[in-house]
Amino acid sequence: MSYSLLRPLLFLSDPERAHERALTWLERSQHSAFLSRLMRRTCQIQDKKLERKLGNLIFPNPIGLAAGFDKDGRVVQAAENLGFGFMEVGTVTPKPQPGNIKPRLWRFPKQKALVNALGFPGIGAAAVAHHLKDVTVSIPVGVNLGKNFDTPLEHAHEDLLAVLGILYPFGDFFIVNVSSPNTPGLRELQQFEALTRIASTLQEKLAELGPKPLLVKIAPDVTEQDLEEIVQTVSQNKLAGLVVANTTTNRAQVPGAAFLDRGGLSGKPLFERTLSLIKQTRNLLGRDTILIASGGIFSGTDAAKIFEAGADLVQIYTALIYRGPRCAKLINRELLNFL
Ligand X SMILES: Cc1cc2nc3c(=O)[nH]c(=O)nc-3n(C[C@H](O)[C@H](O)[C@H](O)COP(=O)(O)O)c2cc1C
**Residues found near ligand X in the complex (CB under 6 A):** 66-68, 71, 90-91, 105, 114, 116, 118, 120, 144, 177, 180, 217, 246-247, 266-267, 270, 294-297, 316-319
Task: Give the Cα separation of 63 and 85 in Å (integer).
Answer: 5
Beta strands at 105-108 and 113-116: parallel, antiparallel or unpaired: antiparallel
Which is closer to ligand X, CB of 246 or CB of 253?
246
Residue 41 one-letter amino acid: R
Closest distance to ligand X from the beta carbon of 294 (Å): 4
Closest distance to ligand X from the beta carbon of 156 (Å): 14
Which is closer to ligand X, CB of 37 or CB of 305?
305
Closest distance to ligand X from the beta carbon of 274 (Å): 8
Task: Give the Cα separation of 79 and 141 in Å (integer).
Answer: 10
Number of neighbouring beta carbons within 10 Å of residue 53? 9
Which is catalytic among the residues 4, 36, 179, 180? 180
Task: Spell out the residues 6+ positions from residue 140 whose beta carbon is closer than 8 angstroms to its own.
Answer: 57, 58, 59, 86, 172, 173
Closest distance to ligand X from the beta carbon of 330 (Å): 14
Alpha-carbon torsion, ordered 236, 173, 294, 44, to 10 deg: 150
Which is closer to ligand X, CB of 45 or CB of 114?
114
| CA distance from start to end of the chain | 30
- Alpha helix ranges (H) inside 237-299: 271-285
Which is closer to ligand X, CB of 295 or CB of 310?
295
Q: What Å distances lie between residue 182 and 23, 60, 96, 109, 117, CA to CA?
A: 22, 33, 16, 22, 5
Residue 180 annotated as catalytic: yes
Which is closer to ligand X, CB of 66 or CB of 222?
66
Tell me the sheet residues that pair with 266: 114
Closest distance to ligand X from the beta carbon of 92 (Å): 9
Which is closer to ligand X, CB of 53 or CB of 111?
111
Which is closer to ligand X, CB of 210 or CB of 275?
275
**Torsion 283-204-119-297 (CA) sign:** positive
Task: Give the Cα separation of 90 and 177 in Å (integer).
Answer: 9
Closest distance to ligand X from the beta carbon of 162 (Å): 17
Q: Which of 112, 208, 202 is nearest to 156 (CA)?
A: 202
For residues 183 and 223, the answer to whether their CB atoms sit within 8 Å is no
Report helix, strand or coil for 170.
helix
Residue facing ligand X at closest CB distance: 68
Task: Give the Cα separation of 302 and 242 in Å (integer).
Answer: 19
Closest distance to ligand X from the beta carbon of 258 (Å): 18
Residues classed as catalytic: 180
